[in-house]
């Protein structure tokens, strides 16, 4: 090595500095005013990260929409069940020689005396006629026909009513009376409502799984375009922790942006729907719709859930990028 | 190993932290401390008998293929200068990758700064890598960062404030002749400018050893000559230098140790 060392001591450029050997240009030491701050280590915008934002926004929108729909259906089914179980009907078949109207009044007074009953009212003749109108037409004299009388009983505390006692008392005291507690209907409706809610939650689950998978894969896709950044950072001696933190921060922001965009979109849609459906009240169609879906209002659960979904998706994006960084670094030496 | 005592004045470097022996010593102390803090001794320090990097009977194969490198015995001393040469495909880049810890040997012992790479915990790798400067054949600059930011990257990943190293980076950029290109992005740099930016990035952390893979492969002979002088100057300031090249003309310009790879075997001409 001494030979090489000798060559070095003879070298003409010694001491002059390499700058003298390299082309001299108009150098400046200061960053010009207005020059950008240090650029982010993770490239701010790439095609992959833009499409990731889109995927995150769309999936978050769909998940929020599903969540909203499921809460809506659940609330509606609860309302149906409540409405149905809050009403009873007593039917009095006409029996020869007995005044059905009188029996109906008696049944009404018996029912009204029961605990948990709000009111009991025998339907008037004209009301019966109206109910039958679709089948037998209007303008008929019904007094001659053996039409059963109906007593509508509304309950304020369905659980407090002893249905079997009421039914036994009616059978004993009122001739031709039978109690219809709508149980067949209500059971069928309950089954249907439960099934709807279960299907809704299953769909919500599937949408969540699809969201997780697509966000994870889109994040990994976006990370693949950053492989070079990860390997250069590692080779210049960056700690894996540092690299992971940089990517995690970038992807958390990206996920938040996408997630919130989707959630806000879904919330706006719900607000718009409940507004338009609320507006068209007092039309027969809207009455039917509100009978089915209740007030079409997404409760606080829906809105809180939407925000929660947005944050969940953002965190998922960030964690996926972190795991990908650690995997990429571990793949090296 | 005696030629380095006679150093001339270094007006330019005086601005850049090379004189920065103080700072450099500080860095080492930090590294030392962090290593010993884990209850490990650093083994032989630089200047000791084992050199900066030592290979003993090192062999490497990719997968189940034949051995690409066979029975390498090699010692790179502190403040030494060597060319690594050999025909294309002889394994120069592979050997360099072994040197900068991007590959593990399939057999044999590699000691880097006195530490056996086979038993090295992964957590210690970044600290060791920071003591090795690498100039890649394809530069590996990040296109979304300016020249300044690319060169500053090794310091930035340490979590240091920009203000603490800006002057050093500017000085170094001027030293390699990129003073007026520091706000340009790599895609608009010429091949020679990228090369110099890559060299500056390798040097900014004041490494103890510099590994350069075909650093003159993309530049014309005059610039190649200037780059070689840059490496020589750097070596004179105390950094070990390994230059992989197959440019005989370049090697003939400077009389230094030659490591010649041929069919996976290494011959050393002192």
User: What confidence tier does A35 reach under pLDDT thresholds 50, 70, 90?
Assistant: very low
Asked whether residue B214 carries a pLDDT value surpassing 70, the answer given is yes
The pLDDT value recorded for residue A36 is 47
Average pLDDT estimate for B32-51: 38
- A135: helix, coil or strand? helix
Average pLDDT estimate for B133-137: 90
Average pLDDT estimate for B97-102: 87
The pLDDT value recorded for residue A89 is 86
Closest-CA distance, B136 to chain A, in angstroms, reads: 10
Average pLDDT estimate for A273-290: 65
Distance, CA of B216 to CA of B223 (rounded, Å): 8
Residue to substitute from B1, B2, B3, interface A, most A β-carbons within 10 A? B3
Task: Say if CB B149 and CB B226 are below 8 A apart.
Answer: no
Closest-CA distance, A53 to chain B, in angstroms, reads: 20
Asked whether residue B122 carries a pLDDT value surpassing 70, the answer given is yes
Closest-CA distance, B262 to chain A, in angstroms, reads: 23
Determine what percent of chain A is predicted with pLDDT higher than 90.
5
Which helix (H) or strand (E) segment holds residue B106: the answer is none
Interfacial A residues in 47-106 facing B (CB < 8 Å): none
- Does the beta carbon of A34 lie under 8 angstroms from any beta carbon of chain B? no
Asked whether residue B59 carries a pLDDT value surpassing 80, the answer given is yes
Q: Please answer yes or no on whether A18 and B226 come within 8 Å at the CB atom.
A: yes
Q: Please answer yes or no on whether B177 and A23 come within 8 Å at the CB atom.
A: yes
ipTM: 0.76
User: What confidence tier does B189 reach under pLDDT thresholds 50, 70, 90?
Assistant: very high
Q: Identify whether B207 is part of a domain.
A: yes
Q: Identify whether B4 is part of a domain.
A: no
The pLDDT value recorded for residue B102 is 84
The more confidently predicted of residues B19 and B83 is: B83
Q: Please answer yes or no on whether A5 and B2 come within 8 Å at the CB atom.
A: yes
Place of tokens 């960084």: A325
User: What confidence tier does B211 reach under pLDDT thresholds 50, 70, 90?
Assistant: very high
Interfacial B residues in 68-87 facing A (CB < 8 Å): 77, 80-81
C-alpha torsion angle, residues A249, A319, B103, B256 (rounded to 10): 0
Q: Identify whether B138 is part of a domain.
A: yes
Distance, CA of A114 to CA of B156 (rounded, Å): 82
Residue-averaged pLDDT of chain A: 77
Q: What is the pLDDT of residues A218-257, one digit of tens each?
A: 877 877 888 888 888 888 888 888 888 988 888 899 899 9
Q: What is the pLDDT of residues A43-89, one digit of tens each?
A: 877 777 788 889 889 999 998 888 888 888 888 777 777 777 778 88
The pLDDT value recorded for residue A4 is 43
Residue to substitute from A5, A30, A47, interface B, most B β-carbons within 10 A? A5
Average pLDDT estimate for B39-47: 36
Q: Identify whether B5 is part of a domain.
A: no
CATH number for the domain including B105? 3.40.50.300
> How many C-beta neighbours within 10 Å does residue A275 have?
10
Q: How many domains does chain B have?
A: 1
> How many C-beta neighbours within 10 Å does residue A287 have?
12
Asked whether residue B41 carries a pLDDT value surpassing 80, the answer given is no
User: What confidence tier does A2 reach under pLDDT thresholds 50, 70, 90?
Assistant: very low
The pLDDT value recorded for residue A113 is 83
The tokens describing A34, both together, are: 């207005």
The pLDDT value recorded for residue B80 is 92
- Domain encompassing residue B136: 11-117+124-269
Q: Please answer yes or no on whether A8 and B152 come within 8 Å at the CB atom.
A: no
Q: Identify whether B111 is part of a domain.
A: yes
The pLDDT value recorded for residue B242 is 94
Closest-CA distance, A25 to chain B, in angstroms, reads: 7
- Kindly provide the b/e burial profile for residues B33-60, where b requires at least 16 CB atoms within 10 angstroms of the residue's own CB: eebeeeeeeeeeebeeebbbbbbeebeb
Distance, CA of A234 to CA of B132 (rounded, Å): 12
Average pLDDT estimate for B177-191: 90
Q: Identify whether B1 is part of a domain.
A: no
Residue A24: list chain B partners with CB under 8 A: 177
Q: Identify whether B221 is part of a domain.
A: yes
The pLDDT value recorded for residue B173 is 92
Lowest model confidence (mean pLDDT) among A268-272, B36-40, B238-242, B260-264 = B36-40
Residues linked to residue A180 through DSSP beta bridges, in sequence order: A89
The pLDDT value recorded for residue B44 is 36
Q: Identify whether B91 is part of a domain.
A: yes
The pLDDT value recorded for residue A288 is 64
Distance, CA of A264 to CA of A260 (rounded, Å): 6
Which helix (H) or strand (E) segment holds residue A55: the answer is helix A47-85
Task: Say if CB B227 and CB B210 are below 8 A apart.
Answer: no
Determine what percent of chain B is predicted with pLDDT higher than 70.
81
The tokens describing A212, both together, are: 């997780």
């Amino acid at each position: 090595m001494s030979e090489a060392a000798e060559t070095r001591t003879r070298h003409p450029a010694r001491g002059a500095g390499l700058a003298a050997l390299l082309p001299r240009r108009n150098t400046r030491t200061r960053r010009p005013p207005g020059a950008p701050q240090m650029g982010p280590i993770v490239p701010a915008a790439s095609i992959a990260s833009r499409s990731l934002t889109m995927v995150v926004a769309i999936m978050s929108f769909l998940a929020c929409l599903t969540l909203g729909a499921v809460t809506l259906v659940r609330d509606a089914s609860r309302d149906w069940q409540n409405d149905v179980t809050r009403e009873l009907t007593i039917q009095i078949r006409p029996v020869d020689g007995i005044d059905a109207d009188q029996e109906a009044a008696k049944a009404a007074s018996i029912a009204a005396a029961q605990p948990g009953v709000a009111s009991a009212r025998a339907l008037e003749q004209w009301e019966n006629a109206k109910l039958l109108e679709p089948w037998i037409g209007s303008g008929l004299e019904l007094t001659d026909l053996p039409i059963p009388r109906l007593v509508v009983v509304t309950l304020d505390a369905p659980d407090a009513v002893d249905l079997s006692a009421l039914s036994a008392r009616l059978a004993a005291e009122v001739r031709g009376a039978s109690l219809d507690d709508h149980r067949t209907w209500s059971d069928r409706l309950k089954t249907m409502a439960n099934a709807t809610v279960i299907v809704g939650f299953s769909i919500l689950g599937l949408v969540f799984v699809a969201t997780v998978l697509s966000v994870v894969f889109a994040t990994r896709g976006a990370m693949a375009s950053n492989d070079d950044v990860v390997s250069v950072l590692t080779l210049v001696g960056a700690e894996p922790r540092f690299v992971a933190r940089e990517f995690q921060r970038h992807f958390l922001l990206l996920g938040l942006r996408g997630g919130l965009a989707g959630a806000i979109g879904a919330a706006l849609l719900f607000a718009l729907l409940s507004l338009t459906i609320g507006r068209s009240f007092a039309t027969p169609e809207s009455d039917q719709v509100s009978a089915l879906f209740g007030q079409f209002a997404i409760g606080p659960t829906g809105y809180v859930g939407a925000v929660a979904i947005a944050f969940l998706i953002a965190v998922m994006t960030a964690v996926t990028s972190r795991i990908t960084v650690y995997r990429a670094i571990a793949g090296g030496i | 190993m005696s030629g380095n005592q006679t150093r001339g004045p270094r007006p330019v470097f005086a601005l850049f932290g090379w004189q920065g022996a103080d700072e450099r010593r500080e860095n080492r102390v930090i590294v030392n401390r962090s290593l010993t803090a884990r209850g490990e001794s650093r083994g032989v320090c630089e200047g000791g008998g084992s050199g900066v990097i030592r290979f003993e009977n090192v062999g490497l194969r990719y997968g189940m293929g034949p051995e690409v490198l066979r029975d390498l015995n090699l010692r790179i001393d502190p403040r030494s200068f060597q060319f690594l040469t050999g025909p294309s495909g002889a394994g120069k880049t592979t050997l360099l990758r072994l040197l900068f810890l991007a590959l593990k040997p399939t057999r044999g012992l590699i000691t880097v700064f006195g530490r056996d790479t086979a038993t090295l915990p992964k957590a210690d790798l970044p600290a060791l890598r920071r003591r090795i400067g690498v100039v890649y054949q394809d530069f590996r600059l990040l296109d979304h960062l300016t020249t300044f930011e690319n060169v500053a990257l090794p310091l930035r990943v340490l979590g240091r404030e920009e203000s603490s190293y800006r002057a050093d980076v500017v000085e170094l950029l001027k030293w390699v002749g990129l003073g007026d290109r520091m706000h340009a992005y790599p895609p608009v740099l010429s091949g020679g400018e990228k090369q110099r930016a890559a060299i500056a990035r390798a040097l900014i952390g004041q490494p103890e050893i510099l590994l350069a893979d075909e650093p003159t492969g993309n530049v014309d002979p005059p610039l190649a000559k200037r780059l070689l002088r840059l490496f020589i100057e750097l070596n004179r300031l105390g950094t070990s230098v390994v230059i992989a090249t197959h440019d005989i003309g370049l090697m003939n310009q400077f009389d230094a140790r030659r490591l010649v790879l041929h069919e996976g075997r290494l011959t050393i001409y002192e």
